[in-house]
Structure 1
């Protein structure tokens, strides 16, 4: 089987992280859609493993958390009448925790928006921090119990609750009610009121929506499989943290957080795939002979 070069794979992964659809990449890179899909899966698994093992012991002062909505196969309201909808079809939420100082994505979780996901998300975040932090979330009630169970009293936690007026009187798509103000609720510890904000993580969510085609509204580029959605988020997270220079900190967020000493390229991401690939060995009769010899050694 022919294998794409490092440069070809790096180009395809770069296009995935720059907002291109998989079929557009297939046409421009002159490869089959199955090749793009296989690379997405391999890179997603390798990036998820790398993030889980290496983004730990991060020292920071302020962390902001939020959730961003998308859907898989069909929106939740349309799943019942969808043809051959897979098991995880419907609304999908991506939870993100952002280091407000380095702009690094510390933790992410793809799934539902209930209390079980909130607790799993906060447990994961707790395991990646090296010190007590000031945490800010939106007013989602699931955070309250999750933060308490994960951190106890070892955190300075506040909620930024947005206050909305009446919704639009006429039917208008994507026209939410006007935000008329916000309230800062201190939940645990002594968070500094000036730092109670979710602006940085909300801006990070905008970058996710701009750079991953699966999050673009009113297109057919949305995820058809939940697993592939997770793979793309894993690739994006490594790209955002290690490869992309953040204009606010003028370097990759992983460098600003002290997790990486150098700026990565997509070649480094390809190297993660190669390192995770199973090692090739003897095949056929020779393999059986080698195994017998090792057994008698």
Structure 2
């Protein structure tokens, strides 16, 4: 059985991390589609495990949170009746948090847009922080109870609510995801003493755009989408590993992980390949020669 070298696997991951789809990655690298998918799964699991263990006791100060929409398998309107309400079919939301200073993504969660996912995500975020932070979210109501349950009074929390106007917007504009004009914002302190000058969701919203550019399955208005929720989650884990540890941030001139003190060097994709645990070889029993009659 042929086995890809570290260099060959790193090349496949490099293609995937630059926003290329599975089929195109197979054509570019010469690897089979099944090989690309298997490597994506192995790398995704390894990246999720590594970041889950490494992103603890983080000394971050200013967090922004948001959720980004995508779909798996089919659009929500096309989900058959027997599958409606089943996670992994139709609308899927990725909840993300970003530190405004180091640009680190400390955690994320793939789920629905409801209260259950909000509670899980915010609780996970709270468990990773070493000190009090200022947190800003959009006006999504699910954040209110989630932040209260996870942080209590130990946080400076505010919501930034954008006000939109639809004047001049046609139905065709709405169908093609053309955003309405932002007519104003409202900064609403919720808990603690958040600094009004630092109430912002600009970094996390820009991060949403970066996700759409670096993961083909997030691209709008195309036939690119995740067919299985497992591959969707693997791609997200790989992307955040690449973003946090491999990609030099233009304004920082180092990686977010370096800025947050999680590593002292820029990771290569070969380093991510080395995180993948090789399966242990199966032990074979002693060979027994069959008696012939």
Is TM-score (shorter-chain normalized) higher than 0.5? Answer: yes
Counterparts in 2 of 1:248 and 1:223: CA distance versus 1, 3 Å: same
Q: What does residue 130 of structure 2 align with?
A: 130
The aligned runs of 1:1-297 (5 Å cut-off) are: 1-80=1-80, 88-166=88-166, 168-172=168-172, 173-273=176-276, 276-280=277-281, 282-285=283-286
Q: Hey, what's the Cα distance between the residues in 2 that align with 1:230 and 1:145?
A: 26
Distance 1:169 1:34 in 2: 44
Secondary structure, in 3 states, of the residue corresponding to 1:94?
A: strand
**1:20-76: per-residue Cα shift (whole Å, max 9, x none)?**
011011011111100000001111111110010111111011000011111101111
Distance 1:150 1:191 in 2: 17
SS in structure 2 opposite 1:235? helix
Measured after TM superposition, the shift of residue 177 of structure 1 is: 2.6
Instruction: Please say if residues 246 and 268 of structure 2, whose CA atoms lie closer than 8 Å, have aligned partners that are also in contact.
Output: yes
Specify the SS of the correspondent of 1:182. Answer: strand
Preserved contact between residue 65 and residue 96 of structure 2 (Cα < 8 Å)? yes
Alpha-carbon distance, 1:170 to partner: 2.5
Q: Distance in 2 between matches of 1:148 and 1:68?
A: 22
Residues 267/155 of structure 1: CA separation in 2 closer, same or farther (3 Å cut): same
TM-score by length of 1: 0.91
> Is this contact kept in 1: 2:169–2:180, CA < 8 A?
no
| Number of matched pairs | 283
User: Structure 2: how far apart are the matches of 1:38 and 1:271?
Assistant: 15
Structure 1, unpaired ranges of 5+:
287-297
Please say if residues 74 and 82 of structure 1, whose CA atoms lie closer than 8 Å, have aligned partners that are also in contact: no
Q: Which moved more, 1:221-230 or 1:276-285?
A: 276-285
Seen in structure 2, the aligned counterparts of structure 1 residues 228 and 167 have a Cα distance that, compared at 3 Å, is: farther
CA 1:93/1:29 → structure 2, altered by over 3 Å: closer, same or farther? same
Shift of the alpha carbon at 1:279?
A: 2.7
DSSP 3-state at the match of 2:64: strand
- TM-score, normalization: structure 2? 0.93
Structure 2: 5+ residue stretches without partners: 288-293
d(CA) in 2 for partners of 1:112, 1:81: 18
Q: Find the aligned partners of 1:13 and 1:150 in 2 and give their Cα distance.
A: 36
Give distance in 1, aligned partners of 2:127 and 2:162.
Answer: 29
Q: CA deviation at 1:191?
A: 0.5
